[in-house]
Amino acid sequence: MRWLFLATMCCLCVASALAADEEVFSGPQPGEKLPPLTVRGVFGDEAGKEWDVIAEAGAKPVLVVFVHERTRPAFAVVRGLMQYAKSRKREELAFAVVWLSAAVTETEKWLKAVDKHLPDEVTSAVSLDGAEGPGAWGLNRKVTLTVIVGKDGKARANHALVQPGAQADLPKILKDVTAVAGGKVPSLAELGVGNYAPRRP
């Protein structure tokens, strides 16, 4: 019976390892069309206004970051991408961070409370489609961040991050962005990326 127990445990370990290595998908994959994305702005002239991010981007390179869960590591990645977007002209790169939540009003209040920790002049908006996000985008609620790089109305790269980390993920994402928008990949130091993130009020 001992050998049967050991064989069973071995099979369970292999199954767990395979599950851990299983690729996670969220959002349009490379080559797929980017669906409409209506959001509502939070800051500055965009506050309270609704628009379609993809329609406004047109054929330009576009970077869309969906925030499914507000964690400190996720905030570090988001802030780094916002700093990068701030360094690029809007004519060169369309950009939007889209915060997903079942409580849209609460999320808007939280964003205004942490406004000083976010780069200015960069679009930060809320989705009007709840925690699931717009259905046509096929987002996965089990991930923390979904990052889509697109151009000409189609996805060029997709990063579905379950456990995001600025050190590991930012260089990969920015490499994909510069592949379609030009320029060089900045260092994390140039982006001022650290481990700090505001606590939830």
Per-residue pLDDT tens over the stretch 88-137:
988 899 999 999 999 999 999 999 999 888 888 899 999 999 999 999 99
Predicted local distance difference test score (pLDDT) of residue 161: 97
Query: Cα angle vertex 199, ends 195, 201, to 5°?
Result: 165
What's the pLDDT at 194? 61
Residue pair 34/62 in contact (Cβ under 8 Å)? The answer is yes
| pLDDT band at residue 192 using 50, 70 and 90 as cut-offs | confident
3-state secondary structure 105-136: HHHHHHHHHCHHHCCCCCCEEEECCCCCCCHH
Q: How does pLDDT run across 8-54, given as a tens digit for each residue? A: 444 444 344 334 447 899 999 999 999 999 999 999 999 999 999 99
Q: Could you tell me the CA-to-CA distances from 183 to 92, 119, 176 in Å, in that order?
A: 10, 20, 11
At residue 120, the pLDDT reads 85
The C-alpha atoms of residue 140 and residue 137 are separated, in whole angstroms, by 9
β-bridge mates for residue 40, sequence order: 50, 126
Three-state DSSP at 77 gives: helix
Which of the listed CATH numbers 3.40.50.970, 3.40.30.10, 3.50.50.60, 3.20.20.10 matches domain 25-191?
A: 3.40.30.10
Backbone angles phi, psi at 142, to 5 degrees: -80, -10
What pLDDT shows up at residue 12? 45
Q: What is the pLDDT of residues 45-97, one digit of tens each?
A: 999 999 999 999 999 999 999 999 999 999 999 999 999 999 998 889 999 99
* pLDDT tens string 133-191: 999 999 999 999 999 999 999 999 999 999 999 999 999 999 999 999 999 999 999 98
Question: Would you say 34 and 114 are in contact if contact means Cβ atoms under 8 Å apart?
Answer: no
> Tokens 């206004």 sit at which residue?
49
Mode of pairing for the β-strands spanning 38-41 and 154-161: unpaired
The whole model's pTM is what?
0.85
pLDDT band at 195 (very low <50, low <70, confident <90, very high): very low
Per the structure block, which two tokens stand in for 26?
């969220």
Q: Are strands 124-127 and 50-52 parallel, antiparallel or unpaired?
A: unpaired
Q: Are 188 and 167 in contact (CB under 8 A)?
A: yes
pLDDT class of 197 with cuts at 50, 70, 90: very low
Residue 143 contacts residue 24 (beta carbons within 8 Å): yes
